[in-house]
Amino acid sequence: MAIKSVGVIGAGQMGNGIAHVMALAGYDVVLNDISEDALAAAIAKIDKNLARQASREVITEEQKADTLKRIRTTTRLADAGAVDLVIESATERETVKQAIFEDLLPHVQPHTILTSNTSSISITRLASRTDRPEKFMGFHFMNPVPVMQLVELIRGIATDQETFDSCKEVVAKLGKTAATAEDFPAFIVNRILMPMINEAVYTLYEGVGNVESIDSSMKLGANHPMGPLELADFIGLDTCLAIMNVLHDGLADTKYRPCPLLTKYVEAGWLGRKSQRGFYDYRGDTPVPTR
């Protein structure tokens, strides 16, 4: 099936990036959120990121203008259903995602493919709550979406070949690379990445090193572009904790037990960059370690 229109549900950090790359690739995009302020902020962010690409001559000014014209915003979920492909990109909570798909179903077309940008939740389970499990799959972008080259494509147990092929074609049109993952907790990237971040938090919790020494060790000793604690702040500590809980609950292995310090930071509302405090304090000119 040729996909021409895309509905993106959720205008946050991931949603605005998905809308950006989809519109830039020529798709007509309907960007939905419950908040008008979130939609306005998303369009401003997309405009800023497109301007950065234009200044670096990655795209032309004409492409920038055309891309913005292809994005329509709405607070009505029904508007996001009248498309060929839906990408749900709401908060990483299964109950929220299930409620969105339930409310969306009366408004989708018979051929509409439903996907979720979830980073860890069972695709099979989400699909089972819809009327089209064969046309449902995981479409997991990496953050920041305009920059990162990978998209994880995750089939549920019922996903048919036509749906998979259509989504793989979209990834190719975006100029990104698809990695096929099986539907097990956290898929590939986060199955490997999150336990590393969690272990870095344990290393901090147990006093083996402080924030600065842990991040410096992994940047200079393992050639990582960001230290694990810096990366956790960038992702969001609440998201990291949610994924570790999915791994722990889904695989029933104690090696995935979230570090108590990670839980404590989330309880404090210190979620990383988005709340101005996490393993670093971002309220000043330069990030300062909090431990």
> Is residue 97 part of an annotated ligand binding site?
yes
The backbone torsions φ and ψ at residue 35, rounded to the nearest 5 degrees and listed phi first, read -115, 125
**Does the active-site annotation cover 140?**
yes
Annotated binding-site residue? 210: no
CA dist., res. 153 & res. 22, Å (int): 16
Write phi, then psi, for 265 (nearest 5 degrees).
-60, -40
To the question of whether residue 109 is assigned a binding role by annotation, the answer is no
According to DSSP, the residues that pair with 5 across neighbouring strands are 28
Residue of 89, 120, 190, 198 with catalytic role: 190
| Residue 13, annotated as binding a ligand | yes
Q: Is 78 annotated as a binding residue?
A: no
- Looking at 119, 120, 166, 198, which residue is catalytic? 119
Q: What's the number of CA atoms in the CB half-sphere (13 Å) around residue 141?
A: 30
* Residue 214 CA, distance from chain mean position: 25
**DSSP for 93-142?**
-HHHHHHHHHHHGGGS-TT-EEEE--SSS-HHHHHHTSS-GGGEEEEEE-
Q: Which entry of 49, 88, 116, 152 is annotated as an active-site residue?
A: 152
Whether 53 has a binding-site annotation, put simply, is no
51: number of Cβ within 10 Å:
13
Q: Is 143 annotated as a binding residue?
A: yes
Q: Tell me whether strands 113-116 and 136-141 are parallel, antiparallel or unpaired.
A: parallel
Helix (H, G, I), strand (E, B) or coil at 206: coil
* Total residues found in the chain within this entry: 291
Q: Is 102 in the active site? A: no
Q: Is 213 a catalytic residue?
A: no
Tell me whether residue 269 is annotated as binding.
Answer: no
The two three-digit tokens of residue 223, written as one number: 């050639």
Q: Please tell me whether 92 is known to bind a ligand.
A: yes
Annotated catalytic residue: which of 140, 166, 198, 230?
A: 140
45 labelled binding-site residue: no
Owner of token pair 């895309």:
6
Angle at 42 between CA 88 and CA 92, to 5 degrees: 35
269: region left, alpha or beta (phi > 0 left; psi from -120 to 50 alpha)? left
Residue 210 and residue 266 in contact, taking contact as beta carbons nearer than 8 Å: no
Active site (annotated) includes residue 61: no
Residues annotated within a binding site: 10-15, 33, 92, 97, 119, 143, 274
* Residues annotated catalytic, as ranges: 119, 140, 152, 190
What residue numbers does the annotated binding site for NAD(+) cover?
10-15, 33, 92, 97, 119, 143, 274
